[in-house]
Structure 1
């Protein structure tokens, strides 16, 4: 039995609110999920109803900080190191050699959009470190963003349980992580050499993309837009197009094909796309 009840009218209000601010589309079947994820916020604020929480979000002096907490509770953070491993094989064997030949200025910018707790950008950093270890003079930066502030805090800390680093090859685990003991539990800390390659920033893909000043060579946005309404997804993909270099690459999740969303990219690998200069 859920501790709070939500009426159909209240659910519709929150559904529109969440869609407007995050792009996430909640179907009617997600009603109990919404209650489960937001009940702790009502309890923390000593509110009795969801309409009272809605009014708090709109009018309370502390509404800005509560918005962040609400979004943290709504958004999911499912990720792992080397997730969809073939993407990183493609990055290492196809994309990076391409830029090695094309980038005379030895400058490379990668954006991990929807980085969750950091496993994806740190995996990217490992691949780049290995590829460029004998190639000096490259200016490489990775930006990792997410709308979930709790996930970003964990990502910045770079501390993972043994179960989390299982997908990391043993050679990389020894090279890029520091193993430590916390009581009876082993933890693995990302070493500073890897941390220094990644800058973390809170960013809402559907509202804050104009705050990015860089133009990107590679964008990873995997298993993020799957939660978006199709119209929002099309808008986000359009912004990726504008923010990518003319020959830039976009990595999407395997369940997020672009064929029915945008003709501004053409496939070059499994859920890997390259920018089309003159889209139809």
Structure 2
């Protein structure tokens, strides 16, 4: 029998979903986006891709995947990738990073340039923008943030800068008042990021596995938080190596709370809790200098 192990929900499943279908999905999303789906994600995959079957009118997972591979429809590949991308975010998530960023940019020569490479619905890049405004004492600092994500749906939300008011519940009232505009009338219950912040951020679609990235220059900091956990170690190593030429010599790299880059790259050294900086010797392919030992008395 070549089916996923049955459970209580199998009797009411709309589409047959075999173990072979699941393995095909795992292989396709890994090749397309580098995402390594765990075996425990079978139900999640079924739930999310069943929506695509309904939308396309295709009646089986096998036929859907056959169509996806044979026709090479870019819009459906995009929908497939969007469906399997997890987006969990909030304003000032992992708050310990933002004072470190503020201290970092205060001592740097403007203009400041930062890349947020998994921007989701925009809360993270806008949190970065607010931090820059506060650190540099102006709503219009000489700073630019490139915010990218593979999911085009979340990028549309991010670029609008419109959120439900309760998304600000955990934010300091003074900060919320300074950086957001409250909706009125039909827009009541919504807030919008101030135009000064939106002008600081450029949103772009970017696949970290693509052969080329639509970005250039060098950044003062890169935020790559809670995205590497979806990649295997070889993929993580490849991406980190591509970060190196895009970073200024003393740039910072911010990781997610459950991510550790020291085991997959020699180019970085730990600066603080899930914050890294380039090791200039290792990044250039040279061995680090030996430590100087104090002369014994």
- 1:87 maps to what in 2? 97
Q: CA deviation at 1:135?
A: 11
RMSD, aligned α-carbons: 1.8
- Superposition map of 1:75-114 within 5 A: 75-93=85-103, 95-99=104-108, 103=109, 106-114=110-118
Give the drift of 1:157.
0.7
Compute the displacement of 1:275 (Å).
0.7
User: How much does 1:58 deviate?
Assistant: 2.0
- Please state how far the C-alpha of 1:249 moved relative to its aligned partner: 0.8
How many Å separate the matches in 2 of 1:68 and 1:56?
Answer: 14
2:17 match: 6
- Alpha-carbon distance in 1 for matches of 2:70, 2:45: 21
Structure 1 segment 152-231 matched on structure 2, within 5 A: 152-181=155-184, 185-207=188-210, 209-231=212-234
- 1:236 corresponds in structure 2 to 239
**Residues 93-115 of structure 1, C-alpha deviations (whole Å, 9 max, x = no match):** 3x11332xxx3xx2211000100
Corresponding position: 1:130 with 2:141 = no
Report deviation, 1:222. Answer: 0.5
Q: Which has the higher contact order (CA 8 A, sep 6+)?
A: 1
Residues 209, 221 of structure 1: CA spacing in aligned structure 2 closer, same or farther, 3 A cutoff? farther
Gaps of 5+ in 2: 1-8, 288-297
Aligned residues of 1:119 and 1:155 also touching (Cα < 8 A): yes
Tell me the CA shift for residue 117 of structure 1: 0.3
Q: Is the 1:203–1:209 Cα contact (8 Å) retained in structure 2?
A: no
TM-score (norm 1): 0.92
Q: SS where residue 190 of structure 2 aligns? A: strand
Bigger Rg, which one: 2
1:133-155 Cα shifts (integer Å, max 9, x gaps): 2699x631100000111100000
Q: Distance in 2 between matches of 1:151 and 1:202?
A: 10
- The match for 2:79 is 69
TM-score (norm. length: structure 2): 0.87
Q: What residue in structure 1 maps to residue 255 of structure 2?
A: 252
Q: Deviations over 1:70-92 (max 9, x none)?
A: 11110011000010111001111
Runs of 4+, deviation exceeding 6 Å? none
Match for residue 116 of structure 1 among 120, 124, 134:
120
Kindly tell me: are residues 59 and 88 of structure 1, through their superposed partners in 2, closer, same or farther at Cα, counting changes over 3 Å? same
